[in-house]
Structure 1
Amino acid sequence: MVDVRWLDDDEQRTWRSFLAAVHLLETGLDRQLRRDSGLPHAYYQALAMLSEAPERSLTMTRLAGLLRSSPSRLSHAVARMEADGLVRRRKREGDRRTTVVTLTDTGMERLERAAPGHVSEVRRVLFDVLDREQVDRLREISEAMLGALDPGGDEPRYQVR
């Protein structure tokens, strides 16, 4: 029998508050983006990663890693974004096994139109309710959690370059 370290009342309250906040944050950001730009949050994140990459291009493997997405889920999303003209796919020259995804001008324009509303919502629900010390602490906490959840992940965690 495994000896379980059960959560005490304070830990349980923290855990449940954290889960509720993460759920409502993701749901709210997705709802805002769909309403204002027609983009799901997952597509916005992919377009943003591509926009920051050299030549606005990344391999599917690299993009999946940055997004913490499965290759199959990303492949489906990229196919839909490609059908909408937001990205294009091509095989890497000299390596037919590697697929490169590139943000199109149309995709960049769509991202640029979506970004102000998205950033305003992120600011409203996160940064405007925290002081500078809390923001620094949240980043430290998030990075510590990412270290446990994704020990082989990219450092710094969300920078492409």
Structure 2
Amino acid sequence: MTSTQPFSPAEATAWARLVAVSELLPTMLDAQLLRDVELTHFEYLVLSVLAASPEQTSRMTRLASQTNATLPRLSHVARRLEQKGLLERFPCPQDKRATNARLTAAGSAVLEKAAPGHVATVRSNVLDALAPDELAQLAAISASILARLDPEGRMSATQCHAGLSEAAASDAKTTPDAAA
């Protein structure tokens, strides 16, 4: 039987702060998105991943993997998004046993409407709190943790799923307080 080394004071502090951020951040993101476009952050993530997919379409199993969702959870969320007209599901042409999801024009419009507020919220609550060298450290630290949690890179965390269209990204670049 091996003995587990207790946390050092520095480790305990780092862990407690990471847990606090991981608990507070989703609530803050949900609040902004629910207020602005009546979507949860997870729904926004699903639409954003679809927006970044070829032809804005993905197999449900791949979408579940990319959003770290179980297929039943994703199916439930997809049904809600489908009822809102933001995505559509249809049989996969290459494999009739599989189901694809595709972002609709309305879904794309909701992403464009949500993007400026989402970017502003992330910027004001996370990015603006960091100096440029801290931002680089955060990216490196997150990459190290993700390499252990997601070694296959399913969540595509190297890509931005901000849900910005090229036009919205361009507008954000020209606004002093926005980010693409």
TM-score normalized by the length of structure 1: 0.93
Cα contact 2:58–2:101 (8 A) shared by 1: yes
Q: 1:132 maps to which residue? A: 132
**Superposition deviation, residue 18 in structure 1:** 1.0
Cα contact 2:65–2:155 (8 A) shared by 1: no
Cα contact 1:66–1:158 (8 A) shared by 2: no
List runs of 5+ in structure 1 lacking aligned partners: none
Aligned length: 160
Q: Percent identity?
A: 38
RMSD (Å), alpha carbons: 1.5
**Superposition deviation, residue 104 in structure 1:** 0.3
Q: 2:123 maps to which residue? A: 123
Q: Tell me how far apart the structure 2 counterparts of residues 40 and 105 of structure 1 sit (CA, whole Å).
A: 19
Within 5 Å, which residues of 2 pair with 1:39-78? 39-78=39-78
**Superposition deviation, residue 154 in structure 1:** 3.4
List runs of 5+ in structure 2 lacking aligned partners: 161-180
Amino acid at match of 1:77: V
Q: Tell me how far apart the structure 1 counterparts of residues 74 and 49 of structure 2 sit (CA, whole Å).
A: 13
**Superposition deviation, residue 159 in structure 1:** 3.2
TM-score normalized by the length of structure 2: 0.84
Q: Secondary structure at the match of 1:96?
A: coil
**Superposition deviation, residue 45 in structure 1:** 0.6
Q: Tell me how far apart the structure 2 counterparts of residues 94 and 117 of structure 1 sit (CA, whole Å).
A: 38
**Superposition deviation, residue 100 in structure 1:** 0.7
Amino acid at match of 1:13: T
What does the per-residue CA deviation read over 1:51-103, in whole Å, with 9 as the maximum and x for residues that have no partner? 11111111111111111111111111001101111000011114111111000
